Each structure stands twice: as C-alpha cells, then as structure tokens.
C-alpha cells in the first residue's frame, strides 16, 4: 500500500480522503456520487424500496455494482473483499448471530478495553458475554451488532436504520456515542434512516436517494 | 453347490404380495397404490434388461463395452443427484459438478481395487468391474445428493447469516464453514452408520448374495469388508469434492454470496 505523505498533504490527497463513490450503479439504479470525508456523517433517506439498503450493500461490495468506490483514493477492487469489508463496515438493519452465546461472537475482542467501555455505555453489564443469543430482544441485538462492528475499528460506517428498534432514550445515547466515536477516530459515516429529524441531528448533509441519484434535502 | 434357479411362478407369487399391499393402500386411502405398482414394474423391467445386458457383457469381455456401460451408469447417477435436489444449480453446472465428483471418487476407488486389491486380469473383467462400480456409484450418489441438496437449501435459508459474516470481514470459507461441514456430515453419516451396523443389525446385500450363490461365508465376508472400505472412502471423498465445487459456485470472485445461480422452488 502507498503511504500517506507526512508533510503538507497535496490538495488532491485531501480531496480524495475518506469514502468516495463515483457513478456507483446497481440493479438499474444510479449513478450515485458522493464524497464522505473522515469524521463526516452524511444522512440518506428515501421512500421504502428505493434501494437505500442495496446502495449500502453495493458499497460494502456484497452485491454486483458498476462505477467506482474508493477509500482514500484506493479503489475497492484493489483490496481483498474481507479487508475492504472490515474497513468499510456495513451494519444491516437486521443483525444475524450464529453462535449460541453473545461471548462466542466476541471471542478475540472481548478482552479489549474498548469492548468493556462500549458495553457499559450502551447499557449492558459485563456478564453479557454469557447471555444466550436466543433470549436477546431486537433492541439488544441491534446495540450488540453496533459493538460487534465498532470493535473491529472500521474506517467507514454504513448504518442501515441503526436505531429502529431502540427506545427514545437509547436512540439519543447511540447517536451521541456514534458521533463521538466517528469524530475521535475520524470515521466516515453514511446513515440511512426514515427519520429525517434524526438525520439532521446526526449528519452534516442529508441526501434523498432517488432511482437516478441523490438530491440534497434542506433542513425545514 | 449350484444356485436354485427361480421360476417365473415363484416371482409371480412374490409379486402377488406387492399387489396385496397396493390393494390395502387403496382400501385405507393411503394413495400409494399407483406408485407401488409403477415402481414394482419399473424395477422388474430395469433389472431384467440389465440382466440381459450383463449376460452379453460378461461373455464379450470387451474393454469398450465395459467402458460404455460404466459411462451410462455414471450419467444416470449424475441425473439422479440433480433430480433429487430441491434447489439446483442453474444450467449444466450442477450436472457437471455431481457427475464430476462421482467420477473422481467412484472410478478411482474402483480402479484401485480392481488393479491392486482384487488383482483380477484383465482389470476391467466385467464380472468384477461392473458390480463393484455399481455399488460404489450407488452409495456415492446417495451421499452426494443428500449433501448437495442440504448445501443449496441451507445456503438459501441462511443467506442472511452468511452475508452478515461476510459483512464482518470474514472470508467465504469462514462464512460458510459450519454449513459446509454440516453438509459433509449429512452425506457421510449413512455409510458410517451402515459400517457400524454391518453384521450386527444388517447382513449386507452383497454378502448375502454371495452366500446364496454358494460362496463360503468367510470369502463373502472378506469381499464385504473390502467393499465397505471402498464405499466409505468413495462416498467421503465424493461428498467433499461436491461440496467444495458447489460452494465455490455460490460465491463469486469478490466473495459475494450469489444465489441467483440456484433455481427457485415453485
């Protein structure tokens, strides 16, 4: 991999940093072009079935797509798929779990200090690792799935309705935590939601996803 | 000792039992009578035909005839595997994969047995080659069809889970590891079970046949042991090959789960 210049980054470099989509298309939708700088959050909304989730899946490279998607100027195709998906991490609206206990999904990460930190901030106690997955509520799964991805230290977060199953108090907490983490770790974030007020709370810019591209929404 | 030859009358008496079963099925509304009779007729015709084919084959000892017969058996087995699957791979790929994995396992194992273990001369002597290949293909076919049916069904049903694991940065091998291992187990368990039960619960058909045909029980047992080993090895490697090839098809070069290569269930 190329190394970032240590002194005075060229203007081109600065323009390229973060996640850029150029003319992304999939399943007859698009082209979508946008640049999400490190630490920036962009909100995406749109009618149901327009393809917001599919757009995130295309960025995570789990569906076939056209156009270009790059991180700090390096195209998706130059990384092996697992490496790309760890850096550009999508958290789907419905999370899936394949082991019996919570702990088994965090085998190599549950000892890290940030795990305990996140667990506590998101309202769990440290005995969570012993819990049965089958007894978790939808909201608990949603919060744990957030932790599961954050602990892998992604560079980009693709959030698909990340607070849909949470009560209003928890929604606020999650918004705050995500904002703090994205800011301190300079994570680029795409946040999909139907709740336009939420998007204006968490994101600098909000786009409406249409079949043929993005249109910018203004704060009413 | 000579085998007591069965007359057509003996066979008709046995067939009468099947008719009785069909009549009972009709009487109690089981709805199986048609299938009982059709499969009974099919079995009789198929076996009589194969009996005549084998008679010709055994007298000729022609390498090409034996080869042609083996090829036919393989192609039918490949077709059967595909027919038994709920979700098949589209196009000819599925057929090629099942046929290929059976070819690799059954044919090599049979060839090894004929040349090295039995040491019959010439190695393709039809009295040995055809029955052994038949037994190997039959069992491998069962294993491969059970395992590949389970693989495509599970991958479809658990696509959310597999994709979640891909999204977390797992490779396709990791993301599908449990499913693939489960399917391999499904394919191999029947033959492992029948090895464990052989002689205690069941007297294997081949051995019984040899004993009825006048061989000494110890010779029959030795052949049965050989065949069991061959079948277990052939089935095991056949199942592994099939699972590997099918899962390779279910992920593309960017390690995406692609399920549109599977047919839909109506």
Shortest Cα distance, chain B CAs vs residue A51, angstroms: 17
Count of pairs with CB atoms under 8 A, one residue in A, one in B: 52
- Residues B101-118 pLDDT 10s: 999 999 999 999 999 999
Mean per-residue pLDDT, B220-239? 94
Q: Is B180 on the interface with A (CB under 8 A)?
A: no
Confidence at A10, pLDDT banded by 50, 70, 90: very low
- Is the separation of the CB atoms in A60 and A71 below 8 Å? no
Is the confidence at residue A13, as pLDDT, over 60? no
Of B161, B167, B257, the CB nearest to A98: B161
> Which residues of chain A have a CB within 8 Å of the CB of B257?
62
- How far CA A196 is from CA of A164, A188, A209, in Å, comes to 13, 19, 13
| Upper half-sphere CA count for residue B10 (Cβ side, 13 Å) | 4
How far, in Å, CA of A56 to CA of A157, rounded? 10
- Which of A5-19, A47-61, B37-51, B88-102 bottoms out in mean pLDDT, i.e. has the lowest? A5-19
Is residue A39 one of the residues assigned to a domain?
yes
Is residue A12 one of the residues assigned to a domain?
no
Measured over all CA atoms, what is the biggest interatomic distance in chain A, rounded to whole angstroms? 53
Q: Which pLDDT score, from 0 to 100, does residue A62 have?
A: 96
Selected residues 150-189 of chain A with any CB under 8 Å from a CB in chain B: 152
Is residue A38 one of the residues assigned to a domain?
yes
- Residues B46-75 pLDDT 10s: 999 999 999 999 998 899 999 999 999 999
ipTM of the complex in this document:
0.91
How far, in Å, CA of A124 to CA of A121, rounded? 7
**Chain B contact probe: residue of A60, A81, A134 with most B CBs at under 10 A:** A81
Is residue A143 one of the residues assigned to a domain?
yes
Shortest Cα distance, chain A CAs vs residue B86, angstroms: 24
Selected residues 218-257 of chain B with any CB under 8 Å from a CB in chain A: 252, 254-257
Domain that holds residue A169: 19-216
Is residue A28 one of the residues assigned to a domain?
yes
Shortest Cα distance, chain B CAs vs residue A89, angstroms: 7
Is residue A47 one of the residues assigned to a domain?
yes
Task: Specify the residue for token string 């039809």.
Answer: B126
- Residue by residue, DSSP assigns chain B as -PPPPPPHHHHHHHHHHHHHHHHHHHHTT-S-HHHHHHHHHHHHHHHHHHHHHHHHHHHH--HHHHHHHHHHHHHHHHHHHHHT-SSPBSTTHHHHHHHHHHIIIIIHHHHHIIIIII--SSTT-HHHHHHHHHHHHHHHHHHHHHHHHHHHHHHHHTHHHHHHHHHTT--HHHHHHHHHHHHHHHHHHHHHHHHHHBTTTB--HHHHHHHHTT--HHHHHHHHHHHHHHHHHHHHHHHHHHHHHHHHHHB-TT--B--TTBPPP-
Q: What are phi and psi for residue A66, nearest 5 degrees?
A: -105, 175
CB contact under 8 A, B254 and A98: no
Is residue A2 one of the residues assigned to a domain?
no
- Residues B142-196 pLDDT 10s: 999 999 999 999 999 999 999 999 999 999 999 999 999 999 999 999 999 999 9
- How far CA A23 is from CA of A84, A212, B28, in Å, comes to 19, 10, 67
Structure tokens at A100: 């019996």
pTM: 0.87
Q: What is the CATH number of the domain that holds A90?
A: 3.40.50.300
Q: How many domains, in total, are found in chain A? A: 1
Is residue A172 one of the residues assigned to a domain?
yes
> Which residues of chain A have a CB within 8 Å of the CB of B164?
92, 95-96, 98
Q: Which pLDDT score, from 0 to 100, does residue B199 have?
A: 85
């Amino acid at each position: 991999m190329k190394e970032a210049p240590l002194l005075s980054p060229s203007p081109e470099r600065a323009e390229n940093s973060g996640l850029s989509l150029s003319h992304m298309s999939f399943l007859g939708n698009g082209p979508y072009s946008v640049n999400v700088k490190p630490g920036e959050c962009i909100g995406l909304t749109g009618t149901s079935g327009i393809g917001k989730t599919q757009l995130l899946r295309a960025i995570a490279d789990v569906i076939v797509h056209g156009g270009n998607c790059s991180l700090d100027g390096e195209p998706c195709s130059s990384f092996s798929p697992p490496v790309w998906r760890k850096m550009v991490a999508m958290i789907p609206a419905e999370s899936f779990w394949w082991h019996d206990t919570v702990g088994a999904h965090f085998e190599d990460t549950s000892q890290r200090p940030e795990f305990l930190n996140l667990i506590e901030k998101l309202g769990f106690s440290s005995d969570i690792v012993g819990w049965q997955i089958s007894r978790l509520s939808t909201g608990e799964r949603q919060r744990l799935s957030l932790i599961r991805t954050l602990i892998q230290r992604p560079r980009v977060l693709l959030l698909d309705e990340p607070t849909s199953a949470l009560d209003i108090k928890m929604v606020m907490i999650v918004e705050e935590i995500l904002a703090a983490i994205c800011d301190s770790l300079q994570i680029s974030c795409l946040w999909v939601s139907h709740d336009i007020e939420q998007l204006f709370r968490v994101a600098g810019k909000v786009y409406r996803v249409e079949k043929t591209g993005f249109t910018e929404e203004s704060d009413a | 000792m000579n085998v007591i030859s069965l007359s057509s009358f003996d066979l008709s008496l046995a067939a009468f039992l099947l008719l009785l079963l069909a009549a009972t099925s009709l009487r109690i509304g089981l709805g199986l009578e048609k299938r009982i009779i059709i499969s009974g007729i099919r079995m009789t015709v198929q076996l009589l035909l194969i009996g005549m084919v084998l008679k010709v084959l055994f007298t000729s000892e022609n390498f090409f005839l034996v080869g042609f017969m083996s090829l036919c058996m393989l192609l039918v087995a490949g077709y059967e595997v595909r027919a038994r699957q709920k979700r098949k791979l589209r196009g000819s790929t599925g057929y090629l994969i099942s046929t290929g994995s059976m070819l690799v396992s059954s044919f090599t194992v049979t060839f090894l047995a004929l040349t090295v273990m039995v040491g019959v001369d010439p190695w393709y002597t039809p009295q040995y080659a055809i029955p052994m290949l038949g037994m190997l293909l039959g069992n491998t076919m069962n294993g491969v069809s059970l395992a590949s049916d389970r693989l495509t069904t599970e991958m479809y049903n658990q696509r959310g889970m597999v994709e979640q694991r891909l999204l977390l940065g797992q490779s396709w091998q990791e993301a599908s590891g449990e499913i693939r291992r489960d399917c391999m187990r499904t394919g191999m368990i029947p033959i492992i079970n029948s090895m464990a039960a052989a002689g205690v619960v069941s007297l294997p058909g081949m051995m019984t046949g040899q004993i009825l045909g006048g061989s000494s029980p110890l010779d029959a047992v030795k052949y049965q042991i050989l065949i069991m080993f061959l079948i277990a090895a052939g089935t095991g490697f056949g199942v592994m090959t099939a699972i590997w090839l099918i899962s390779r098809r279910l992920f593309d070069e960017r390690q995406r789960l692609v399920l549109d290569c599977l047919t839909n269930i109506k």
